[in-house]
Amino acid sequence: MARFRTALSVRFRDIDWAGMVNNAVYLTYLEEARVRFWIHLTQRVPRQIEDLPMVVARVEMDYLKPLRLGDKLWVELWVSRLGRTSFDFSYRLLHLDGTPVGRARTVMVHVTPEGQPHPLPREMLDQLTPYLEEDTSP
């Protein structure tokens, strides 16, 4: 199965008073990876809810090593579960040298423009299935 990988850089605004990336910023890194993945899948930049019809229902994050200003990292993501109206993304965050700095999982719910859960359409299932891989993280 395939994994999507994108590179990100730690910016000054990501840093807290201790000189490390603030824990909440990691969620922004996950979001950036999800949006880039969706653009990769659909070949379209999302401009409205119909272009990116999912919301985050749950986040789990393990922080393994700190990130600091100027660090560059990879964010890998894959689909670790497909359900009827929801699916899971699993993530690995790595320094460019491959050292793990974090891992995460998000539960994504497919929604209507009004925000109501809705079954995953066949087209979306077909796009996500090649990235389906069990998450074996501890």
Supply the residues annotated as catalytic: 16
Q: Which residues contact 38 (CB under 8 A, 6 or more apart)?
A: 46, 52
As a whole number of angstroms, the distance between CA 43 and CA 35 comes to: 11
Q: Are 41 and 67 in contact (CB under 8 A)?
A: no
As a whole number of angstroms, the distance between CA 61 and CA 90 comes to: 10
Using DSSP, state whether 49 is helix, strand or coil.
Answer: helix
